[in-house]
Amino acid sequence: MIKLFRNIRQNLLNEGKTTKYFKYAIGEIVLVVIGILIALQINTWNESRKQKIAEQEILISLKKDLETNKTNLLFYINKYEKQYENGIYLLSLFAKNNDSIPTLTLDKALGSIEETSTFEASDGIVNSIIASGKIDIIQNKELKSLITSFNGTVINATQEVENIIKLIHNRLWPSIDGKINNANRIRTYEGFSEFPKSSYTSDYTWFFKSKEMEDVVSNITSWNKTTIIDMNKLLETIDKMLSLVNQEIKVDQ
């Protein structure tokens, strides 16, 4: 093609058609420029198409992680709500005569507030998006911001749990050791019903007269309440992220 253009220009010069030569040369330049622009446009379109495909793949993976996190988080919110209710119940019994309350009922209530575990987010996709720089592929600015701050939101939702665990380990358990039956409380934990019943019954008389135990239960219960509030904020964030992800995922995906 280039050789053909060169021959045409040479023939025009040989025939003395200078004006036509320059017009032809200009036209040839215009055609070349148009060809370059078309090639650049095709390349830009192709790269944009690749980024859109990559974004869809990221969004689909992110959706799966968020749905898993939501399911797990709802489990923990329900768990801490039950612990909070049992904490309130125990606090209502201090400085009162509780002889009529079955010991097993008290064992279950106390066992509930000390059975503490931590929600651990499935954040592999979030961390991968940030670490690989693929966050820039995400077009939705609000979703991009929520992804960037996700790990911090998880930390805020679970930061009180460590305080609860320390309080149980350092103050509650040393105080009730040998007074409140450990084996019978363990039998009330989920999955431990087959645990052998102990040979002695818990003594709650001293427990509900103890200012220290009232203080410990009060602190555990208040931190449970804070954890519930913070976890619900995390749940709102996850719901918002899922809503944005669903808006961005194409129907044919």
Amino acid letter at 37? L
Place of tokens 């509780």: 98
- List the alpha helices (DSSP H) in the chain: 2-14, 18-91, 103-114, 124-131, 141-148, 150-158, 161-167, 173-176, 182-186, 211-248
pLDDT at 46: 67
d(CA 235, CA 243): 12
Q: If pLDDT is split at 50, 70 and 90, which confidence band does 4 have? A: very low
- Segment 83-98 shows an average pLDDT of 95
d(CA 94, CA 213): 9
What is the overall mean pLDDT for the chain?
Answer: 84
Q: Is the pLDDT of residue 21 over 50?
A: no
Q: If pLDDT is split at 50, 70 and 90, which confidence band does 131 have? A: confident
Closest CA to 111 of 170, 215, 181: 181
Give the distance from CA 108 to its chain's centroid. Answer: 31
Q: Is the pLDDT of residue 189 over 80?
A: no
